[in-house]
Amino acid sequence: MLSLVLLTPAPAAAAAPPSLGTALECGLPADKALAVLREHGIEPDQKRAVLATPVTVYGIPIQSITAWKLGNMLGVTYTISTAALPEFAKAAGLKEWDDEDGAGLGRAFLNERNGLTAPHVADATGDVVEIDCGMRERTP
């Protein structure tokens, strides 16, 4: 006797909220990134936050975070080890740019509403470098 078992799909698990690392990768809309920052006690007040729990961005540990908000712009700056910059740039898919505003490494996300930038590897000095993520809120 052959029996047919009908399988019903299990209810889909609720999607986990984005992590702080995901927000710092610069791929979230500004409003979602701001909510994630606030969940981790980081306000957009230009005050440096040193994390109690290690966070990685593109597999690289970050050391501190500063966030700011001006109009429809949310900005986040975080520091990584200078030695890790080449690996970070490769993992993040950063490309070289050089124009009238300066030069460095960068990548746009979300139809160019977000941008992730870093200094050129050759220009990086000191123990840490700053990585900048700028996010524009959607306009209605």
What's the average model confidence in pLDDT over 32-60?
94
Q: Is pLDDT of 88 > 80?
A: yes
Q: Is 135 helix (H, G, I), strand (E, B) or coil?
A: strand
pTM of the model: 0.83
Mean pLDDT score of the chain: 88
Q: What is the pLDDT of residue 102?
A: 80
**CB neighbours (10 Å) of residue 109?**
17
C-beta separation of 67 from 78 below 8 A: no
Contact criterion met (CB below 8 Å) for 18 and 40: no
Mind listing the domains of the chain with CATH numbers?
23-136 (3.40.1000)
